[in-house]
């Protein structure tokens, strides 16, 4: 048990801060924005301008007002991760959480780190599955969508841009339980969406999938990748706007495509080794999920802010 707990501690320290890499969120947002009608763009532009951090969203942006509005939207998509390192906000999930002063017009200063994912548990070796913790992306996404037309529409929009992208990263929709990763009491513990699955001896499964859309924040790359995804993946004839469907899909994809290793593989002593075939397949899946996220995001905004 000590061996497995050592792995858990080691990997927890190495766990990534992001969901997708920030560039992934921006690629999805860029592709979605370019699909919006002029009227819907005007409405989302107005909401983004009302955000207290609008100056940060436009910092360094060059171009006319239309280009500035577009990049403010794109940069805002990473805000949910950006505030994890912002001293104005506090981690409300910590037992020793110390609330910071509420700065109007924010409704609160919580980082809401548990909004970024939902643990739909599964086990390849028969571990009894617990209920998914709440709050989560599953409980909060409907509220974000419903809130777009309200007084805090600017707040719900920026969160929606981020969390909708999060749940299209498959490992944000599931967590594995096995008899090979145990907690202090000797009971099977969650692998935290792949964060505790050791890959190639130096990284973890969650990080591998976070980085599949790229890690460079260069705006030329973001535009190029957004156009590439649109070219690779046509808009589906039918688009579900139900977050529950997005999450169910993501969980299924994670189990079929990400967790291709046996239950006992992925420990520090027995890490999962990626093959060229796995790398190619995971990249293809990431591209498909990101494109679908963009199409669905545009459809939700078009429906709620026509």
3-state secondary structure at position 204 = strand
Q: What is the mean pLDDT of residues 38-44?
A: 98
Closest CA to 122 of 71, 174, 72, 84: 174
Residue-range definition of the domain harbouring residue 204: 2-92+102-304
Residues 6+ apart with CB under 8 A from 120: 132, 173, 174, 175, 247, 248, 251
Residue 220 lies in a domain: yes
Q: Is the pLDDT at 9 greater than 50, yes or no?
A: no
H/E segment holding residue 122:
strand 121-122
Structure confidence by residue, pLDDT tens digits, 115-134: 999 999 999 999 999 999 99
> 141 exposed, middle or buried (CB, 10 Å; 0-12, 13-18, 19+)?
buried
Tell me whether strands 121-122 and 198-199 are parallel, antiparallel or unpaired: unpaired
**Token pair recorded at residue 298:** 């545009």
User: Which residues sit opposite 119 in a β-bridge?
Assistant: none
| Number of domains into which the chain is organized | 1
Q: What is the dihedral of CA 291, 77, 16, 119, to 10 degrees?
A: -70
- Residue 112 is predicted with a pLDDT of 98
Q: Is the pLDDT at 16 greater than 60, yes or no?
A: no
To the nearest 10 degrees (0 to 180), the angle between helices 65-76 and 153-166 is 60
Report d(CA 10, CA 90) in Å as an integer: 24
Residue 83 lies in a domain: yes
Report d(CA 292, CA 32) in Å as an integer: 10
Structure confidence by residue, pLDDT tens digits, 276-293: 999 999 999 999 999 999
Closest CA to 191 of 175, 171, 170: 175
Residue 297 lies in a domain: yes
Say if residues 57 and 197 touch (Cβ distance below 8 Å).
no
Q: Is the pLDDT at 209 greater than 60, yes or no?
A: yes
Report d(CA 167, CA 120) in Å as an integer: 11
Q: Is the pLDDT at 68 greater than 50, yes or no?
A: yes
Residue 266 lies in a domain: yes
Closest CA to 174 of 136, 212, 201: 136
> 255 exposed, middle or buried (CB, 10 Å; 0-12, 13-18, 19+)?
middle
Report d(CA 1, CA 75) in Å as an integer: 44
- Residue 217 is predicted with a pLDDT of 83
Residue 188 lies in a domain: yes
Question: What is the longest distance spanned by two Cα atoms in the chain?
Answer: 60
Confidence (pTM): 0.93
Residue 97 lies in a domain: no
- Residue 19 is predicted with a pLDDT of 59
Say if residues 251 and 174 touch (Cβ distance below 8 Å).
yes
User: Which residues sit opposite 90 in a β-bridge?
Assistant: 110
**Token pair recorded at residue 233:** 């993946």
Q: Is the pLDDT at 183 greater than 50, yes or no?
A: yes
Q: How confident is the model at residue 216 (pLDDT cuts 50, 70, 90)?
A: confident
- Backbone angle region of 19, left / alpha / beta, with phi > 0 → left and psi within -120 to 50 → alpha: beta
Q: What is the mean pLDDT of residues 224-236?
A: 97
Task: Specify the range with the lowest mean pLDDT, choosing from 12-16, 60-64, 230-234.
Answer: 12-16
- Residue 20 is predicted with a pLDDT of 72
When comparing pLDDT for 218 and 226, which is higher? 226
Q: Is the pLDDT at 232 greater than 70, yes or no?
A: yes
We report the CATH number of the domain holding residue 44 as 1.10.575.10
User: Which residues sit opposite 177 in a β-bridge?
Assistant: 190
Structure confidence by residue, pLDDT tens digits, 251-278: 999 999 999 999 999 999 999 999 999 9
Question: Within 10 A of 56 (CB to CB), how many other CB atoms are there?
Answer: 15
């Amino acid at each position: 048990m000590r061996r497995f707990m050592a792995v858990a501690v080691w990997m927890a320290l190495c766990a990534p801060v992001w969901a997708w890499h920030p560039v992934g969120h921006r690629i999805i947002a860029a592709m979605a924005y370019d699909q919006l009608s002029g009227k819907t763009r005007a409405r989302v532009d107005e909401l983004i301008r009302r955000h207290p951090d609008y100056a940060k969203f436009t910092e360094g942006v060059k171009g006319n007002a239309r280009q500035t509005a577009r990049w403010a939207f794109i940069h805002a998509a990473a805000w949910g991760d950006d505030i994890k390192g912002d001293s104005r906000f506090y981690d409300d999930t910590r037992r020793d959480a110390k609330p910071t002063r509420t700065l109007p017009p924010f409704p609160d200063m919580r980082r809401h780190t548990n909004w970024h994912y939902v643990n739909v548990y599964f086990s390849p070796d028969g571990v009894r599955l617990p209920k998914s913790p709440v709050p989560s992306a599953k409980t909060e996404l409907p509220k974000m969508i419903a809130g777009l037309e309200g007084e805090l529409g600017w707040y719900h929009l920026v969160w929606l841009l981020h969390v909708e992208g999060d749940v299209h990263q498959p490992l944000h929709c599931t967590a594995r339980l096995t008899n090979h990763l145990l907690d202090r009491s000797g009971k099977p513990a969650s692998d935290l969406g792949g964060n505790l699955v050791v890959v190639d001896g130096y990284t973890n499964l969650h990080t591998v999938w976070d980085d599949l859309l790229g890690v460079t924040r260069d705006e030329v790359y973001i535009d190029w990748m957004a156009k590439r995804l649109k070219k690779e993946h046509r808009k589906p004839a039918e688009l579900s706007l139900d977050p529950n469907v997005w999450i169910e899909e993501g969980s299924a994809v994670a189990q079929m495509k990400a967790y291709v290793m046996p239950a006992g593989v992925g420990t520090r002593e027995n890490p999962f080794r990626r093959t060229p075939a796995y790398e190619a397949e995971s990249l293809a899946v990431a591209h498909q999920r990101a494109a679908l996220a963009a199409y669905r995001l545009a459809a939700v905004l078009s429906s709620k802010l026509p």
